[in-house]
């Protein structure tokens, strides 16, 4: 019989307890990962990894996967390349798959890197092709964007990756490798996967967005809203009218004249009898279709402004929290205000018609 010293038994017992704790943490983080709560996974895994020596492979893998999905490719590559073909559970892709995908993505990514920091905190890590007037105009707008958009949402967002392309073909390939599909023809800016993407030139080699223009500034804030909301909600579905309406409200924080423009657009929509039904506004296929998008965006903006008038900024933030908790907009509205999206839509719709009848719709 092998005798173990008392201290060795104590160490072995501690290791067993520690391994069980790490396994429980990893299981919890896997659940968060499935919900798209990537920032939470990264923060919690990093905290736990400070307690493990050597680093626990499950935690490194989970952090690397979460980093991949919010396009922190440096962190993802470092974590996943250290694990070889390791996978934490059966049917999960090996770490080498993610490491290989990062290599392919970085091969078409902009080569230059800069940061926007607040003290020791990195707010934006900017990857760019050219240090020119166009990329400088985006960088100059980001700090204001962070202050205004995070101020509206009452949130502090960890580092956001920003990719600024001068080459349209590489932009399309980068977009495809990250999201699985290429951008649409008009998508020169995107808040995709928790990062910000911009492309200076379209397929014809022309520059559709002047540097520093009101449209550029509002678009940057708009896309950053998508970033923030997606990273907060994770995989929880948000109807496009609410998502785009909130984003357009954020754009108006930097370009206030967008509010008056929206009044004119919605007045024309109502007068022409072109208000889109909720069934179109609530589904991506209808909202973003070529036939509807030009109406859907200003209408979504107007609907969110209407809600803000009814429940205030704090109510909108409460709505997002309830949406995240309940996983469904109607459940969130019912829990918070004993109503649903149909009632909200009808109140806005009927209110617009009433203003038209009373001659108060605007110019």
Final residue before a domain boundary, out of 73, 103, 133: 103
Question: Would you state the pLDDT for residue 182?
Answer: 79
Helix (H) or strand (E) holding 110: none
Helix (H, G, I), strand (E, B) or coil at 118: strand
How many C-beta atoms surround the C-beta of residue 177 within 10 A?
Answer: 17
18 has pLDDT over 70: no
94-142 pLDDT, tens digit per residue, is 999 999 999 999 999 999 999 999 999 999 999 999 999 999 999 999 9
In a domain, 67, yes or no: yes
Secondary structure (3-state) at 260: helix
- Is it the case that residue 241 has pLDDT exceeding 80? yes
Choice between 354 and 182, residue whose per-residue pLDDT is larger = 354
Asked whether residue 32 falls in the same domain as residue 99, the answer is yes
Show Cβ contacts of residue 154 under 8 Å, excluding neighbours closer than 6 positions: 317
Among 31-45, 148-162, 180-194, 271-285, the minimum mean pLDDT is found in: 180-194
Residue 191's CB: how many other CB atoms inside 10 A?
A: 23
Last residue of a domain, one of 78, 103, 128: 103
pLDDT in tens, 244-288: 999 999 999 999 999 999 999 999 999 999 999 999 999 999 999
The domain in which residue 151 lies consists of 109-215
| Residue range 150-160, pLDDT digits in tens | 999 999 998 99
Would you say 311 and 268 are in contact if contact means Cβ atoms under 8 Å apart?
no
pTM reported for the whole predicted model: 0.92
C-alpha span between 170 and 8 (Å, rounded): 57
Q: What is the pLDDT of residues 75-92, one digit of tens each?
A: 999 999 999 999 999 999
Q: What is the number of structural domains in the chain?
A: 3
Q: Decide: residue 229, CB within 10 A, 0-12 exposed, 13-18 middle, 19+ buried.
A: buried
**Domain-located, residue 147:** yes
Same domain, 129 and 210: yes
């Amino acid at each position: 019989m092998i005798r173990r010293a008392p201290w060795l038994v104590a160490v072995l017992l501690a290791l067993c307890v520690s391994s069980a704790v790490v396994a429980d943490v990893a299981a919890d983080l896997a659940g968060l990962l499935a919900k798209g709560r990537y920032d939470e996974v990264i923060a919690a895994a990093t905290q736990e990894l400070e307690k493990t020596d050597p680093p626990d492979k499950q935690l490194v893998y989970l952090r690397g996967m979460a980093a991949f999905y919010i396009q922190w490719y440096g962190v993802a590559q470092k974590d996943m390349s250290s694990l070889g073909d390791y996978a934490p559970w059966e049917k999960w892709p090996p770490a080498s798959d993610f490491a290989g995908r990062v290599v392919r993505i970085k091969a078409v990514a902009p080569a230059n890197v800069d940061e926007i920091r607040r003290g020791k905190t990195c707010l934006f890590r900017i990857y760019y092709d050219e240090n020119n007037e166009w990329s400088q105009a985006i960088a100059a707008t980001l700090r204001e964007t962070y202050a205004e958009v995070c101020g509206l949402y009452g949130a502090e967002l960890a580092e956001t990756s920003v990719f600024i392309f001068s080459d349209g073909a590489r932009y399309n390939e980068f977009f495809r490798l990250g999201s699985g599909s290429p951008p649409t023809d008009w998508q020169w800016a995107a808040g995709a996967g928790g990062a910000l993407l911009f492309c200076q030139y379209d397929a014809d080699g022309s520059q559709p967005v002047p540097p520093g223009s009101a449209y550029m500034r509002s678009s940057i804030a708009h896309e950053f809203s998508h970033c923030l909301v997606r990273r907060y909600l994770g995989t929880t579905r948000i109807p496009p009218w609410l998502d785009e309406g909130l984003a357009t409200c954020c754009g108006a924080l930097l370009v206030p004249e967008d509010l008056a423009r929206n009044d004119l657009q919605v007045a024309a929509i109502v007068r022409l009898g072109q208000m889109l039904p909720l069934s179109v506004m609530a589904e991506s296929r209808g909202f973003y279709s070529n036939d509807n998008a030009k109406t859907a965006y200003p209408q979504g903006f107007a609907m969110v402004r209407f809600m803000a008038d009814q429940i205030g900024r704090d109510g909108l933030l409460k709505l997002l929290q309830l949406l995240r908790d309940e996983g469904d907009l109607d459940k969130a509205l019912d829990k918070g205000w004993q109503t649903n999206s149909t009632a909200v839509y009808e109140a806005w719709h009927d209110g617009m018609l009433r203003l038209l009848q009373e001659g108060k719709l605007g110019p």
